[in-house]
Amino acid sequence: MRATGVSRARQTIVWWLALVLAACRPAEAAVPVTATPSATLPPVVVVVASDTPAAHTPTEPHPTATLTPGPSATVVTPSVTAAPPSATPLRPTPDAGAAGRRVRLPILMYHYVEPWPAGADVIRQGLTVKPEDFAAQMAYLHEHGYVTVSLYDLLEAVAQGTPLPEKAVALTFDDGYRTLLDYAVPVLQPYGYTGTVFVITQFMDEARPEYLTWAQAEALYAQGWKIEPHTKTHDNLKGRGRDFQLYQMLGSAQTVEAHIGAMPRFLAYPSGQYDALSVELAAEMNLWGAVTTVSGRNHTWAGRYEWTRVRVNGDDLLQDFINGLEGGA
């Protein structure tokens, strides 16, 4: 399995580089990325030197930090094998009713679930739901008959009208903090609840201790969680050039794919910052949807790259949580 993973990582990296190179050529900038879906990847053979950042056009400046290739980049070699078929199912085709359909589903947005650190400022406190509060929130969900569903379930609901459970909720955890394993997962497991972790892939490649390791993320995926990209370095996408946004979005998606063995299909925009180009790229790279930090509970097919969420704040009372869950629009 390890050898397969490495060769797949090589394939995905080389494919990504080919895309970036293609995107850098103005004459081909309009070629949609969707021309090469992962399930039918042609065997691309590109001889790449180890200085991969040179592949970027100099007209699109990047901060040095964001261009530092992760450890996986060091495995790039000219020997490329065909990628195995992706384990991801085909995207549900929208039916005739998709254009007019609105599906209500609270997508709860969490960041940290852990005790408030000493000296935490107001922003950090707001991002940090204390373990006892999280436990009370999940107990409320359980006692009131809620079940967790994924963004894949939501996509199917908006595309084809597939019914969601009457009381459905989606749990999302941005940034992929390691304390999730200490304070959130043990609370969720007894209820059979799972969630989506939006991971910052380069931080994981760098083995930063605050973030999940890849082994931990892979284990969560094996337990039914979803691991989806939150870009490589959490830089704002809004206002940035095509090359930078593609690098952040597709690069992180392919890193996730290399680890979990399936192309992830959803993205969370870092800090909720995105623009029309981000949405365009999300469609071109064949994402199925993306979530923002805008507040809301109703979702459409047309708006699938700008799905709204319900923020759970660290200083919320249980009643605030209930209002967010059960509120209107």
How many other C-beta atoms can be found within 10 angstroms of the C-beta atom of residue 34?
10
Cβ atoms of residues 76 and 10 within 8 Å:
yes
Examine residue 257 and tell whether it contacts Zn ion (CB under 5 A): no
H/E element, 282 = helix 276-284
| Cβ 293 to Zn ion shortest distance, Å | 9
Task: Tell me 243's DSSP state.
Answer: H
**All residues at 6 or more sequence positions from 58 whose CB lies less than 8 Å from its CB, including other chains:** none
- By beta-carbon proximity to Zn ion, the closer residue of 174 and 235 is 174
In 46-137, the DSSP E strands lie at: 103-104, 107-110, 112-113, 128-129
The residue count for binding Zn ion (CB under 5 A) is: 2
The residue at minimum Cβ distance from Zn ion is 174
Cβ atoms of residues 107 and 324 within 8 Å:
no
Tokens describing residue 88: 């991801």
| Cβ 201 to Zn ion shortest distance, Å | 12
- By beta-carbon proximity to Zn ion, the closer residue of 12 and 292 is 292
- The whole-angstrom separation of Cα 115 and Cα 138 is 16
Tokens describing residue 120: 């935490």
How many other C-beta atoms can be found within 10 angstroms of the C-beta atom of residue 102?
12
| Cβ 183 to Zn ion shortest distance, Å | 18
Residues between 161 and 190 with contacts to Zn ion, criterion CB under 5 A: 174-175
CA-based nearest residue to 229, from 187, 188, 192, 258: 258
- By beta-carbon proximity to Zn ion, the closer residue of 48 and 291 is 291
- By beta-carbon proximity to Zn ion, the closer residue of 175 and 235 is 175
- Which residue type occupies 275? D
- The whole-angstrom separation of Cα 55 and Cα 53 is 5
- By beta-carbon proximity to Zn ion, the closer residue of 156 and 174 is 174
| Cβ 308 to Zn ion shortest distance, Å | 16
| Cβ 282 to Zn ion shortest distance, Å | 16
- By beta-carbon proximity to Zn ion, the closer residue of 76 and 199 is 199
| Cβ 271 to Zn ion shortest distance, Å | 6
Three-state secondary-structure class, residue 87: coil
Binding mask 120-159 for Zn ion (x = CB under 5 A): ----------------------------------------
| Cβ 269 to Zn ion shortest distance, Å | 9
- By beta-carbon proximity to Zn ion, the closer residue of 216 and 231 is 231
Binding residues vs Zn ion (CB under 5 A): 174-175
